[in-house]
Structure formats: structure tokens, C-alpha cells
Chain A
């Protein structure tokens, strides 16, 4: 279990992280989200003692990182897949890491097989694609069979098969009882992978809750209804009063989006008014919608209007 307490990191006058608190539970994948420049990578570096925070504390099962003997046996960390000497082979990269933490060299073969790089283990890393480097990075992370796994943008550069492989792998690792913390910009992937979310903006905690709660709390669920008698349904919804409202008429055919009513209510209303229904479905916003809604004021760099 990872506990982050009151972490604050400044670079000169710039506050990168401000009094950050969160925890990462074992047995699940926790997504670490935030806009560019929000302090995610700095947080991860502070967690493993690479950057020195001005205040705060990070513990792994009660121990600070620097207090852990042979730390890669406890915490596996992948900050950037390109942090490999390009002239060194994949096997040698893993071997020096293994030696530094008293790990058996046979473990190198195991993790190479785990990530599917056995056949290219002797090749220099400069000949690797970004996807292969990501796999090598994950191999290095898993070298010590750690109980905590921390990954910064692990799906960067992976093809669709690789992304699915990474997702399955991380869920598998969490399923083994490990605490898995993953920073990623690929929100669709995060939605499929993460059970828990930590969202930060401008170095401060914005949300720390389950992914389902986060999406439910920050998005609106709408009911899409299509019918040849859409006017009847629209009138009935409006007559029901309350907070039910028609948002817009669906462009292609007679339809509408309803908010403030359940799908069952809309279906029964249509039936009660003798309207034929061609489609009745829930439209739920994505994690991306929720993320953009929550971090709207915390985007450091924002695209200009296209109009």
C-alpha cells in the first residue's frame, strides 16, 4: 500500500505539487490523472526519492523508499521507457539492475519471457521500437517481483495489440494483490483498466475515488429515445414536469435526449401515451468527459477555438 501525505514540491517559485494526499490500495489498478504540467511525473519521482520534496512523506507498507533494502524487490517503477543506454542490450540492461538488488540472473530470463522479448534480448536497445522499449521497461519493473508497481504513461507508443496487452498485464498484476499506480493520458484505456482514480490539477488533489463514482459524479446520464411519435413523448415528458427536459432533437430521425428521468420512466411514459418506441437507451458520458469537466480550470496549455 502506498500512502502519500502532504507532499509539496517547489521548483524555485513554481509550486509543482501542493500538499498532496492520497493512497493506493493493493489488489487494484489506480489511475493517476491530470492535465499536462499538473505534477504527475514530479509526484512519481518524489515517491521513489529521485526528486526531493520540500515537505510531505511517502510510504510503501509503512517504509520510506530510501529505507527499503533492495527497493526494486518491493517497488517496481517505470518512469520513462527511454531511460536505457541505447548501446546496451536488453539483457544487459536487466542484468545490471538484477545485480544491484541481489536478484538471481535467472529472473532476467523470466521477465524477458513475460514481456515477449526473449528473442531480441541480445539486441542493442537503440534498435528497439518505442513499444519494445515499453515492454523492456515493464520487464525492469517486474524484475524484483514487487508488491507495488508504479508506471508513468506505460501505453505510450504501443500499438492496439500492445495497449490491450499492457492493460491485461496490469489487471493481472493487480489481481495478484499488487498495488498498481498508473499515470496515463489515454483516458479510454484508463476507463477500462482503473478501478480507482487519483486526479490532480496544478499540483493539487481534485478527486480521489472509484472510477465509477468519478464518472457518475461529474457527468450527466441521458436517455435517448426514438419514435415516429416523438412529439407525443416530448409533450408527455414535459407534462411530467419536475426536472425532465428535452435537450435536443436527434438529427437523423425522430428522437430526443431526456435528462432527469430514468429509462424505465421514459419507456412507461411512451407506452402510456400509445407511442411506438424504436430506441430507448442510456447515454453516459465517458471518463474523458468527466476528466475534462473536472480539470477545465486546471489546464496549463489549452487549444484555441477552431472557429
Chain B
């Protein structure tokens, strides 16, 4: 398994489009933090929680880009036919998908960690230079909990992208589904269920439940609190991934 993970890591790092997506994912929150730090009209009234909230919100955009990266990582193999070379070299197909998930987990964790603390530091430094007084709290404070929640959520979303990539195989369609899932698809499902009499269905939409839990209690009437919301979303994604692995094993490459 280690050999396959090493092989998948080499594949992932030798495609330029992957790096481009990572750079864009890193740049967007940096731009937001810089703009907030420079342009905020009342820096002295900005609280530490608000800075964390801005970083987490802009990180949500980045994690969507990262999930697109893992969609492309898999679907481009189908596009270029390299999936046949891959599966001929590793006939146990699940090992390839699990290896990609491991790489996705590690890369997403590293990128989101750098992104979170860099932006938090940058935003705080810029605001402090303009008269704000933002203290970096201790190890287990609010910021660290948000950081853990954001990274965990990003990792689960990367698995989601990978699972959809395996199921759908077509890059544009899979990316559209990944991007529209939180924006439209879950809301439509919730609406359909609400019209059928299950009015609290939207509380149980897995992506939204986990996403709203990143910053803890925020007025969102979720059925589940932060760790349980993430576990619920992870369970949903694991079910999707398992269906994808079984389907992939059964169909012709």
C-alpha cells in the first residue's frame, strides 16, 4: 500500500494544473485578509472572533477549489486513459482510490493549515498596525477549534470530491456537482422534503450541517453540534465513497 501511495503522490505532484489550483486556493483568502486588514474603516472595533470568522469563510472557498482538485486528479485519469494503465499496474482498484484519498487528506490538511494560520496572522498584523488590538489566544481557544473544524471539513469535502469523481468520471460534470452540492442540490433536496411534510429536513443536510458547525454555535438551527455534524457528513461521504468503489470495481475500466 505504501508503494501505491508513493506512486499516487508522484502522479499528483507532477501535473501542473494541480499546483495552479493549490496556488489559487491559497491566494484567494490572502487577498481577502489583506483587503480586510487594509480597508476596514474601524480596525479598533474588530474582534479576534471576527478575524477568525473571515479566515474561515474565505477558507470555505479554498476547500471547494481543493475538492475540485481531487475531482480532477481522478477524472483526468479517465479523460487521458491513464486509468487503464493505473488499473493494469494495480488490479485492486480500491487501493488506488484509497491511496488517492490518503494523498488528498494530507495535501488538504497541509494547505488548509498553512492557509488558516497565515491568513489569521496576516489579517491580525495588518489590523494591529492600524490601531487594532487583536491578541492571538492560547492553544485550545476558539481559533484552534475553528481551525480543527475547518481542516476536518476540508478533508471530508476532498473525499467527497474524490468519491464523486470515481462515480461520475467526467471532469466538468463532477466539478459542477461538487460545487453545486452545497449551494443548490442540498437546498433543493431539503425543499422537496419540506414540501412533502418533513419541514426540518434541511437541518439534516450533511454538507450544510457540517459547514455551519465550523464556527460552532452561530444561530444556525442545526440538528447536530460541531463534532457530530462533521461525523455525520463524514459518514455520508464514506457511504458515497463506498458506493463509488463498488461501482468502480464492477464496471469496465
Contacts and interface: CB of A to CB of B under 8 A. Distances in A.
Interface of A: 45, 48-52, 65-66, 68, 71-72, 77, 79-80, 82-89, 92, 95-97, 99-102, 140
A226 B197 CA distance: 97
Given A52-B252, A101-B3, A96 B87 contact: no
Interface in B2-28: 3-4, 6-8, 10-11, 14-17
A87 B15 contact: yes
A100 B3 contact: yes
A50 B252 contact: yes
B81 to A, nearest CB: 4
Interface of B: 3-4, 6-8, 10-11, 14-17, 76-77, 80-82, 84-92, 250-253
Nearest to A53: B252
Contact of B85 (A68, A87, A140): A140
Contacts of A89: 14
Nearest to A48: B88
A50 B11 contact: no
A245 to B, nearest CB: 52
A97 B89 contact: yes
A100 B96 CA distance: 10
B182 to A, nearest CB: 29
Contacts, number: 83
19 contacts: A45-B84, A49-B88, A51-B253, A52-B251, A72-B88, A77-B88, A80-B84, A83-B84, A84-B80, A85-B80, A87-B14, A87-B16, A88-B15, A92-B10, A96-B10, A96-B14, A100-B7, A100-B86, A102-B3
A55 B104 CA distance: 37
Given A45-B252, A52-B251, A85-B80, 14 more contacts: A45-B253, A50-B252, A68-B91, A72-B89, A79-B85, A80-B84, A85-B77, A87-B15, A87-B17, A92-B10, A97-B85, A100-B4, A101-B89, A102-B3
B77 to A, nearest CB: 8
Contacts of B252: 45, 50-52
A56 to B, nearest CB: 15
A96 B7 contact: yes
A32 B73 CA distance: 35
B10 A85 contact: no
Given A82-B81, A100-B89, A52 B250 contact: yes
Contacts of B82: 83-85
Given A85-B15, A87-B15, A95 B10 contact: yes
Q: Is the interface of B mostly helix, strand, loop or mixed?
A: helix
A72 B16 CA distance: 27
Contact of A96 (B11, B17, B88, B253): B11
Contacts of A52: 250-252
B85 A99 contact: no
A99 B7 contact: yes
A245 B15 CA distance: 68
Contacts of B88: 48-50, 71-72, 77, 79
A80 B89 contact: no
B98 to A, nearest CB: 13
A94 to B, nearest CB: 10
Nearest to B251: A52
Nearest to B15: A87
Nearest to B89: A100
A87 B10 CA distance: 13
Contacts of B8: 96
Given A96-B7, A99-B3, A88 B14 contact: yes
Contacts of A99: 3, 6-7, 10
Contacts of A95: 10
A83 B85 contact: yes
B253 A97 contact: no
A97 B7 contact: yes
A51 B251 CA distance: 7
Contact of A80 (B11, B76, B81): B81
B71 to A, nearest CB: 16
Nearest to A52: B252
Contacts of A86: 80
A71 B89 contact: yes
A92 B85 CA distance: 14
B84 A79 contact: yes
